[in-house]
Amino acid sequence: MKNEYRLMTNIVALSESKDWDDAKTEWRFTNAFQREGSECLCGKINITNVCVIVNKKNDNRTEVGNCCVKKFMNISNGDTFFSSINKLKKNIKSNITNNFLHHLIDTEFITSDEYRLLSKFQDQNEKKTSGDWNSKIEINQRILDEYCKC
Ligand SMILES: [Zn+2]
């Protein structure tokens, strides 16, 4: 409970509204990544799965642990990022989730050509795919370098 109170206090401090129920609606998910030894707004330390959220009214930006973000924002975006990152860590040839793929093209982290290349792999059986594996591995490695600071 103490942690939850701390999270609410910190979020409200960064929000326009000083009422928790209003304040929490001001925030939107913008990014997520893994970084060991991070700290959540609730005070929890040594977290790895970090979500970046932005206030729609004043552009304040802050980092919240993936578990805490779900306490006040009805989102699971972080989950799709982290499952993708974990898959890439195990096997660099893996497919990432569609949600994460869309984020990467929306933020122009990958080009539209790269998006098309990865999309071609998405729907196919991994072993049967005949495509440009070298390019896929190169893109996946770049994604991992950016989104996993472990
Ligand atoms: Zn937390």
Q: How far apart are the CA of 32 and the centre of ligand 1, in A?
A: 14
Q: How far apart are the CA of 112 and the centre of ligand 1, in A?
A: 35
* Exposure string for 21-56, b = 16+ CB within 10 A, e = fewer: eebbebbebebbbbeeebebbbebeebbbbbebbbe
- As a whole number of angstroms, the distance between CA 35 and CA 150 comes to 5
Q: How far apart are the CA of 96 and the centre of ligand 1, in A?
A: 26
Query: What per-residue confidence (pLDDT) applies to 125?
Result: 63
pLDDT digit string, tens, across residues 53-93 = 999 999 999 999 998 998 888 888 999 999 999 999 999 99
Q: How far apart are the CA of 6 and the centre of ligand 1, in A?
A: 9
- As a whole number of angstroms, the distance between CA 8 and CA 146 comes to 29
Full-model pTM: 0.90
